[in-house]
Structure 1
Amino acid sequence: MRRYANLLAVVALSTNLALHAQTNELVIQTKKLGAEIQPTMYGLFFEDINYAADGGLYAELVKNRSFEFPQHLMGWKTYGKVSLMNDGPFERNPHYVRLSNPGHAHKHTGLDNEGFFGIGVKKGEEYRFSVWARLPQGSTKETLRIELVDTQSMGERQALVAGNLTIDSKDWKKYQIILKPGSTHPKSVLRIFLTSKGTVDLEHVSLFPVDTWKGHENGLRKDLAQALADIHPGVFRFPGGCIVEGTDLETRYDWKKSVGPVENRPLNENRWQYTFTHRFFPDYYQSYGLGFYEYFLLSEEMGAAPLPILNCGLSCQYQNNDPKAHVAVCDLDNYIQDALDLIEFANGDVNTTWGKVRADMGHPAPFNLKFIGIGNEQWGKEYPERLEPFIKAIRKAHPEIKIVGSSGPNSEGKEFDYLWPEMKRLKADLVDEHFYRPESWFLAQGARYDNYDRKGPKVFAGEYACHGKGKKWNHYHAALLEAAFMTGLERNTDIVHMATYA
């Protein structure tokens, strides 16, 4: 089907050109078959940008659920007597709130959460509210009322739905109730009232739709995950591009922090929080709730080969010119071990250290990882000199794993011309090419891969998109040119093995 779809695109493009030329001839050779198209040929690239993970694909509806944002109550409004504490049950998320009696019969203690630009709920759908709670003082029972409310309502009642929760343990314990709104509201608010006279501690306040993708409790939005699955991707590249590098090494994506119990996954600053002042979101963080386990699981359930990308010891080179901002080649051991441990997490036996972590999370069978990417859009000699020890270590321990290197951030030019020979020298299995280019580039690049070296690494078009004039927006002409360009990918499937639109 993909061949025919792209063929139609070329026919349409040729028809358009015919209006401006004397003659056009299109010869279709139906008996001349090209190279086999790899099952990984067309896939998906995912990055937590524009609230794609938290606030998007990841179905959690509460923002700053563990009170770990640097401004600990960002996303929350408090009233009555609410105290922030920092000796909670989860080592990596120590903060929690203490709700106490406000001291007056007509005052109330509680807090609201705004969600991600509001909490969208649908009539008749079920939502699972959960919270870790305890009684810090002498009482044996305290009560909470949990509501989804329309804060803009001027009517008699704000609550779309309400439920009562009884806290009955002096030890930290997880509690939950199901809320079923009686009406649809795109921007509701989660409200928690303390309705008894004592004190309650709350941590990891969460709200999920019950009906998530495949029914997973720490799951994905069903509609968005289904839309991805309906594309039938052959490969799934994650967790992103620039977020792998981080604004600095402290904020790089660290896969080991993204697995294990979700309550103990630490907060990470999102690379796209404040990169551009014209798109500034100071509340943009990564909860790591959508972590590497969830990415692997989504890959499996979509039938796509997982392609994780790991940091190579370089922070974002666009933002860091100082060599001290990067890891010295002699100090890469921990980064290389992260790569080896990831392969064990994905494929290892349940008796291995990281295979057991995967099994304990609910997946004893391996995820059948075959590819791993080291680095994103790095350039200069700094990249291959760091990539080389990764390749040596992975080849020695896991010769079955194919390694994806990079040709840098551009589709041609000085850095591109330098890195391709380096990838050949290092014997990378695939080279990740990125190109966000205008219409003229796509028109001129139809034969791009016709003369590539057939004996070198294969090509992975890891990020590509046609950007029209002016704003970077999707429109028919750009899509048509992309489709026409894709026929060049298919004509060269002996060298082009993967492509993920960005």
Structure 2
Amino acid sequence: MIFSRLSVLPVLAGVASAINITASASGGNASSPLAYGLMFEDINHSGEGGIYAELIQNRAFQGNREYASTLTPWKAIGSSVLTLQNTSIPLSSALPTSVNVRASSNGTPHDSTGTIGISNPGWWGISVQPQTYTGSFWVLGSYTGNFTASLVSATSGTIFASVEIPSNSTAREWTEFSFSLNPLTAAPDVNNNFVIAFDSGTSLNFNLISLFPPTYNDRPNGNRPELMKALIDLNPSFFRIPGGNNIEGDTFGYRWAWNETIGPLKDRPGRPGMNLGIPKWCTDLDVEPILGVWSGFYLNGDVTNPDVVPEADLQPYVDDAMNELEFLIGDTSTTYGALRASLGYPEPWKINYVEVGNEDNLGGGESSYISYRWPMFYNAIHAKYPDILVISSAQDLLSVGAPHTSGTDFHQYSRPDDFALQFEHFDHSNRSYPILLGEYAVIQPNANGAPVDWNAAKMDYGTWIGAVGEAIYLLGMERNGDIVFGASYAPGFQNINSFQWTPDLVTFSADPEKTVRSCSWHQLQLLSNNRYNATVPFTTTNSPPFGPAFYVIGVNNPGEYVFKATVYNTTEPIPFSINFEGVDAGATGILTVLNAPEGNSMNVYGGEDVVIKTVSNVTAGAGGKFEFELKEYDIAVFTT
């Protein structure tokens, strides 16, 4: 980001007719304490290969009924032969498949000499820095020699760190080994491998091979610090998790199953996201969880043939959601509260929000959601936990006949012009129930006023004009903070090496130094870090009051105002003259403005940050008026 700091004179020479605003001290809408938050969907390798700091790809050779176990990307070293096996003694029922490593010499492993082993390139690379890496692996087979664990350049063969690990493994029981690696210098790139080697005179099985760099807050099984920092810098207040299509799963048996995400890693079966420590995320981010529960709907159906659980078979899944809530918030006298305590968490967490499903109005799911799925989940949760806000995932709450003690999740993907046109969208919402803007993003460029086209390509990266369009929509949300209680951009993460959806909030690779914060990230950081307790009414000389400038005014303590504005679709700078009730001449304020060289500027992987940030001091002139001007595509916050 390009940054500068300026001083602005109290009075500017007129360039065009100023927008004159007089703001009251009170009388507006209360603002939601949540307002801006996060949504996590395990897409684009957001979790494994992303924020989850595990460096080893395919560490447990996991498969499931949809995807077979595989050796990819493991490679043999030396004369090794690698074979996937389901041994008579599995590591666990969740991880039955392991890799057998033996030497290739006439098919007989015991007459070979030298070193054999396995090598893993990580998730498209491993960043090697002078820091401590902690690792572990499990072995089945009799071996009394040493294992050598190392980090090695895949191009030059340079060994950056290596450690000898004495073995006492046996043929009838799995043995776990732990180790640390301490490189003294950084590797020049991420083209590095993790290697485990041992004497070739034996045949051994390996499973759950793990290597972690330092994690955020030094959490075991934790997250990448720089990606957590990208989230924390947004000042989020809530975390919608698990969110998106990941909760549904493609087919039967592939849904998000909460009880397979707890306990020791060796007891968690294969599925994206099963290893993430979600409750710890909420603690580290200091956010309110909005818990998603599976609603009996899979993704692989369509409008004419939806894949939903029949009403007669749904109750066990309702019970499963209730068990999850008991695990999270039940006291230790309950079955699942006691299970939580046994895992080291005696104190319950606080859950105030539960969302039933994800986009159940799509893919042919709406009819069953209206008729029985939503009522069954809602009635069960509301009866036992009346203080929890249960949220419908079907966009328009009224279409599912939900009681007013519930909320609705609204998703919006579109183009910049369309977002700008919807500045007043939430002004017209039914104010008898709360709304979550659970997903939003500009995903396509403008096209002569056309709405989003789901058959057309999406942008690779978010543009600055897209961020401005989103900002206009978000300011409209802020105007209605009494009913729209939160907004979260989606998706949050993208691994540049493997992804399914663009654009995204943060793009990354194995190299932490190359993480890219999008234009939308910068816009969101500015809006989220400048909040207020309530909006305030105002009068203006403009008619109509909005367009090409869009704005909202809020207040915290008396005299502490926040003015947020964007300028969209104008050829000249727009002068502003603002008078805040109770603020006199000579008072000072701070004007922060974001912009970019062009509307189509974007932050791309491997490129420079295009977002320009300018901070100015503004002094109130006669009558307590603050005067400044904003130009095309400015996103601005002014605070007194």
Determine which of 375, 381, 390 is the counterpart of 1:403.
Answer: 390
Paired residue secondary structure (1:307): strand
Q: In 2, Cα distance between the equivalents of 1:95 and 1:317?
A: 27
Q: In 1, Cα distance between the equivalents of 2:348 and 2:459?
A: 43
Counterpart in the other structure of 1:383: 369
| Higher percent of residues as strand | 2
CA 1:439–1:322: 2 relative to 1, 3 Å: same
Paired residue secondary structure (2:190): strand
1:485 aligns with 2:476: no
Please say which of residues 302-311 and 105-114 is displaced more in the overlay: 105-114
Determine which of 273, 289, 310 is the counterpart of 2:275.
Answer: 289
Q: In 2, Cα distance between the equivalents of 1:188 and 1:338?
A: 43
Q: In 1, Cα distance between the equivalents of 2:474 and 2:22?
A: 17
Q: In 2, Cα distance between the equivalents of 1:371 and 1:476?
A: 33
Determine which of 107, 114, 120 is the counterpart of 2:127.
Answer: 120
| TM-fit CA distance, 1:406 | 2.1
Counterpart in the other structure of 1:414: none
Work out whether residues 62 and 113 of structure 1, in 8 Å CA contact, stay in contact via their aligned partners in 2.
yes
Deviations 1:339-381 (A, max 9, x none): 1111111111123222233223322111111111101111232
What amino acid maps onto 1:162 in structure 2?
S
| TM-fit CA distance, 1:46 | 0.9
Q: In 1, Cα distance between the equivalents of 2:83 and 2:355?
A: 44
| TM-fit CA distance, 1:223 | 1.6
What amino acid maps onto 2:407 in structure 1?
L
What amino acid maps onto 1:128 in structure 2?
T
| TM-fit CA distance, 1:192 | 1.2
Counterpart in the other structure of 1:161: 161
Work out whether residues 74 and 119 of structure 2, in 8 Å CA contact, stay in contact via their aligned partners in 1.
yes
1:77 aligns with 2:75: yes
Work out whether residues 388 and 426 of structure 1, in 8 Å CA contact, stay in contact via their aligned partners in 2.
no
Work out whether residues 244 and 309 of structure 1, in 8 Å CA contact, stay in contact via their aligned partners in 2.
yes
| TM-fit CA distance, 1:287 | 5.6
Q: In 2, Cα distance between the equivalents of 1:287 and 1:109?
A: 32
What amino acid maps onto 1:449 in structure 2?
F
5+ residue gaps in structure 2? 1-13, 104-108, 446-457, 491-640
Work out whether residues 318 and 380 of structure 2, in 8 Å CA contact, stay in contact via their aligned partners in 1.
yes
Written as runs of structure 1 = structure 2, the 5 A alignment for 1:311-390 is 311-316=294-299, 319=302, 321-323=304-306, 325-379=307-361, 380-385=366-371, 386-390=373-377
Counterpart in the other structure of 2:504: none
Q: In 2, Cα distance between the equivalents of 1:402 and 1:43?
A: 17
What amino acid maps onto 2:290 in structure 1?
L
| TM-fit CA distance, 1:443 | 1.2
Work out whether residues 102 and 200 of structure 2, in 8 Å CA contact, stay in contact via their aligned partners in 1.
no
| TM-fit CA distance, 1:233 | 1.2
1:31 aligns with 2:32: no
Counterpart in the other structure of 2:438: 462
Work out whether residues 110 and 202 of structure 2, in 8 Å CA contact, stay in contact via their aligned partners in 1.
no
CA 1:176–1:319: 2 relative to 1, 3 Å: farther
Deviations 1:359-409 (A, max 9, x none): 23322111111111101111232222211111111111211211010234x
Q: In 2, Cα distance between the equivalents of 1:461 and 1:81?
A: 52
1:190 aligns with 2:194: yes
CA 1:287–1:108: 2 relative to 1, 3 Å: farther
Counterpart in the other structure of 2:209: 205
What amino acid maps onto 1:190 in structure 2?
F
Work out whether residues 86 and 95 of structure 1, in 8 Å CA contact, stay in contact via their aligned partners in 2.
yes
Work out whether residues 35 and 486 of structure 2, in 8 Å CA contact, stay in contact via their aligned partners in 1.
yes
Counterpart in the other structure of 2:52: 58
TM-score under structure 1 normalisation?
0.83
Work out whether residues 133 and 167 of structure 1, in 8 Å CA contact, stay in contact via their aligned partners in 2.
no
Deviations 1:144-176 (A, max 9, x none): 1111111211xxx43221111112142323211
Deviations 1:464-487 (A, max 9, x none): 112341625222221122222222
**RMSD, aligned CA:** 2.3
Q: In 1, Cα distance between the equivalents of 2:139 and 2:22?
A: 68
Work out whether residues 265 and 287 of structure 1, in 8 Å CA contact, stay in contact via their aligned partners in 2.
no
What amino acid maps onto 1:236 in structure 2?
F
What amino acid maps onto 1:75 in structure 2?
P
Paired residue secondary structure (2:146): strand
Paired residue secondary structure (2:197): strand
CA 1:377–1:117: 2 relative to 1, 3 Å: same
Work out whether residues 143 and 196 of structure 1, in 8 Å CA contact, stay in contact via their aligned partners in 2.
no
CA 1:473–1:145: 2 relative to 1, 3 Å: same
Determine which of 167, 175, 195 is the counterpart of 1:173.
Answer: 175
Counterpart in the other structure of 2:151: 148
Size of the aligned set, in residue pairs, is 444
What amino acid maps onto 1:173 in structure 2?
T
| TM-fit CA distance, 1:250 | 2.2
Q: In 1, Cα distance between the equivalents of 2:50 and 2:393?
A: 28
Work out whether residues 251 and 300 of structure 2, in 8 Å CA contact, stay in contact via their aligned partners in 1.
no
What amino acid maps onto 1:485 in structure 2?
Y
TM-score under structure 2 normalisation?
0.66
Counterpart in the other structure of 2:118: 111
Paired residue secondary structure (1:66): coil
Work out whether residues 461 and 498 of structure 1, in 8 Å CA contact, stay in contact via their aligned partners in 2.
yes
Work out whether residues 131 and 202 of structure 1, in 8 Å CA contact, stay in contact via their aligned partners in 2.
yes
CA 1:428–1:188: 2 relative to 1, 3 Å: farther
Work out whether residues 113 and 199 of structure 2, in 8 Å CA contact, stay in contact via their aligned partners in 1.
no
Paired residue secondary structure (1:489): helix
Q: In 2, Cα distance between the equivalents of 1:341 and 1:35?
A: 37
Deviations 1:192-216 (A, max 9, x none): 111363343321100011x211111
What amino acid maps onto 2:97 in structure 1?
H
Specify which structure has the bigger relative contact order, considering alpha-carbon pairs within 8 angstroms and separated by 6 or more residues: 2
Tell me which structure has the larger Cα radius of gyration: 2
Q: In 2, Cα distance between the equivalents of 1:427 and 1:389?
A: 16
Determine which of 461, 467, 481 is the counterpart of 1:473.
Answer: 461
Please say which of residues 22-31 and 52-61 is displaced more in the overlay: 22-31
Paired residue secondary structure (2:427): coil
5+ residue gaps in structure 1? 1-17, 269-285, 409-418
What amino acid maps onto 1:165 in structure 2?
I
Q: In 2, Cα distance between the equivalents of 1:193 and 1:491?
A: 62
Counterpart in the other structure of 1:232: 235
Q: In 2, Cα distance between the equivalents of 1:444 and 1:216?
A: 45
| TM-fit CA distance, 1:34 | 2.2
